[in-house]
Amino acid sequence: MIIAIDGPAASGKGTLGKRIAAYYGLAHLDTGKLYRAVARATLALGKSPTDASAALIAAKALDLGTLADPGLMDGKLGEAASIVASHPEVREALLAYQRAFARRKPGAVLDGRDIGTVICPDADVKLFVTAAPEERARRRYRELREAGNGISEAEVLADIRRRDERDKNRATAPLAQAQDAVLLDTTNLDIDAAFKAAIDLVDAAMGPAGQAG
């Protein structure tokens, strides 16, 4: 069973992906962390995220053991990740790992921007999770503040808008709702309500035979 979750920055897809995976006993991959790790490694080489060759070297040498590092969620890495993610060669270098992860037994939940469209076009269930930009900024700002980050809410909103624009308009694997994805707008839902709505959508998409116990 493969569940693909896509959506814009800070839409809650990562938290939902984690909870959905735990609920159904599936593996979970937050693919944004791959791009964040590549961005951090590119910067560590002393190179700019706009440098496609440097980002490709970082992507090929990526240490997957670093994906659990909470430092990857640092506010500034989101922008750099969005830039390295716009290089087609970087996306290509990360493709095989994501597809292999999706084939894990008994199944996997992957969240990102292009899971339903490019990585797992044959996923059993596709969700497109979104929320109003202001609400997404409010949530991310709260998280960053709790983590001791001094960024303002206005800066978070500007970052989210800039990233959404870049992610939607890039030539390769842009952020888009797959034709067969179900839309889940969480603007007026707290995380528990969003989780319940997501489980209902997954169960409805799988039908009684596909439901996990």
Residue ranges binding ligand C5P (CB under 6 A):
9, 31-32, 35-36, 78, 81-82, 85, 112-114, 163, 167
Cβ closer to ligand C5P: 172 or 203? Answer: 172
Nearer to ligand C5P, 64 or 204 (CB): 64
Beta bridge partners of 28: 109
If the CB atoms of residues 11 and 182 are measured against ligand C5P, the closer one turns out to be: 11
**Minimum distance from CB of 55 to ligand C5P (Å)?**
12
The nearer residue to ligand C5P, 37 or 197, going by C-beta atoms, is 37
Nearer to ligand C5P, 114 or 135 (CB): 114
Distance of closest approach, residue 209 Cβ to ligand C5P, in angstroms? 29
Structure tokens at 91: 């996306």
Minimum Å distance from CB 157 to ligand C5P? 14
What token pair was written down for 186?
Answer: 């969480």
The secondary structure of residue 181, as a DSSP letter, is P
Please, what is the minimum distance in Å from the beta carbon of residue 203 to ligand C5P?
Answer: 25
- Do 183 and 7 contact (CB within 8 A), yes or no? no
Which residues make Cβ contacts (< 8 Å) with residue 19, sequence separation at least 6?
A: 191, 195
- Residue 197's CB is within 10 A of a number of other CB atoms, namely 18
20, 109 in Cβ contact below 8 A?
yes
* 174 Cβ contact partners less than 8 Å away, ≥ 6 residues apart: 113, 114, 167, 168
Closest separation between CB of residue 86 and ligand C5P, Å? 7
CA–CA dist 3, 129 (Å, integer): 13
